[in-house]
Structure 1
Amino acid sequence: MMKQYKGVKDSQVSITELMLPSHSNFGGKVHGGHILNLMDQIAFACASKHSQRYCVTASVNRVDFLNPIDVGELVTLRASINYTGKTSMVVGVRVDSENITTGEKKHCNSSYFTMVAKDENGKSVPVPGLLVTDKQGIRRFARSKYRKLEARQRDTKFESYKFDPEQYIHELENENCMVDLKF
């Protein structure tokens, strides 16, 4: 029987992996795509552990690569549930690297994956709620809730059927573009 609410610690997941030459890009650093793949895998593991269901990635909110990762470094990814909706969860993923010879640690990025729980037929199914037990949990839950609302407002604001270009044309001034309207 699935619990109605689960604590953050119930589904936290972390992995550490050595970065190999096969993970590098042409610049000799670890390829961002490899890190994104690892982030998606850990978000899946965390969301599946929380929901006890197969989960799919619905969206990824902002991935900023803060520091490069070198071949030979250990990369640790940590994931936890920050928010639960009816069928979706926001999984916070943090990526840190460590130089194994110097011990220097770097925060490489943090991102937020919205994952949706699915049944055997691919239909979205309810997930357990999140048991919030501290101030950090309140902050993360509230931040995720507002990030979700802001994204919805941003998406609807720019839908083509109701977009008014006259309202935004001034936003293009002093930008690296040229407006040459033909209508």
Structure 2
Amino acid sequence: MNQTFKTVASSNITISELMLPSHTNFSGKIHGGYILSLLDQIAFACASKFSGNYCVTASVDTVNFLKPIEVGELVTMKASVNYVGKSSMIVGIRVEAENIQTGKIKHCNSSYFTMVAKNSDGESVTVPGLILSNQSDLRRYFNCVKQIALKKEKDLHEEIFDHNSPAAIASLDGHNVKLDIEFH
């Protein structure tokens, strides 16, 4: 098999957008849902650019809202493919907001989207391999490997965990919950 490889840098996408009053939530900050929409768009562009195919969002693995974004700030999103599987890619996205009057930049969000490359019939297709060119590429790749392993472990735990067992029920002591369930 003659597989092609591409660098992480070949996937890089950057978008910037001025935040407007129409993007706010009820507290006057930029709405998280609006940011999620932009994140999905840049993840699509990044994965499609890298794979050369239409891509769909398979999962939103992490979205950490770190700081609020204000009206009038210039939001810049930087995305790159950090990991590739057979037909999937994990796209890492960093969101920064710049106060255009002071020039102060703050890190507002880090996100990871799993994207899958599709052909015109909607079938998954193989993506290029990933060339890791520097320590940052290598660190991000291994972080994704760790993230995948944790996700598999969580899924396995949920499959085998008996939520009705006496030990599980007893483990709720000290939690801020009250059981109002009838057990049979």
Shift of 1:157: 1.4
Residue equivalent to 1:87: 87
Name the counterpart of 1:163: 161
Distance in 2 between residues matched to 1:31 and 1:63, nearest whole Å: 14
Taking the TM superposition and a 5 Å limit, the aligned residue runs for 1:117-128 are 117-128=117-128
Sort the Cα spacing of 1:109 and 1:171 in 2 relative to 1 into closer, same or farther, 3 A: farther
User: Which ranges of structure 1 fall in alignment gaps of 5 or more residues?
Assistant: none
**TM-score normalised by the chain length of structure 1:** 0.93
| Corresponding position of 1:23 | 23
Give CA-to-partner distance per residue, 1:46-83, whole Å, 9 cap, x none: 00000000000011112121110011100000000100
| Cross-structure match for 2:175 | 175
SS at match of 1:64: strand
User: Which residue does 2:145 correspond to in 1?
Assistant: 145
| Equivalent position of 1:77 in the other structure | 77
TM-score (norm 2): 0.93
Q: Secondary structure at the match of 2:64?
A: coil
Q: Render the CA deviation track for 1:74-106: whole Å, top value 9, x for unaligned.
A: 000000010000000000000000011111111
| Cα deviation code 1:131-168 (max 9, x no counterpart) | 01122211111110121121122112112xx3323343
CA distance in structure 1 between the aligned counterparts of 2:53 and 2:180, rounded to whole angstroms: 51
Listed as ranges, the gaps of 5+ residues in structure 2 are none
Q: Which amino acid aligns with 2:101?
A: T
1:2-151 equivalences in 2 (<5 Å): 4-151=4-151
Give the aligned residue type for 1:6.
K
Matched residue SS, 2:142: helix
Matched position secondary structure for 2:81 = strand
> Does the Cα contact within 8 Å between 2:79 and 2:92 map onto a contact in 1?
yes
Q: Which stretch shows the higher mean deviation, 147-156 or 172-181?
A: 172-181
The letter for the 2-side match of 1:19 is M
SS in 1 for 2:112: strand
Aligned amino acid, residue 132 of structure 2: V
Report how far residue 3 of structure 1 moved: 6.8
Name the CA distance, whole Å, in 2 between partners of 1:119 and 1:177.
48
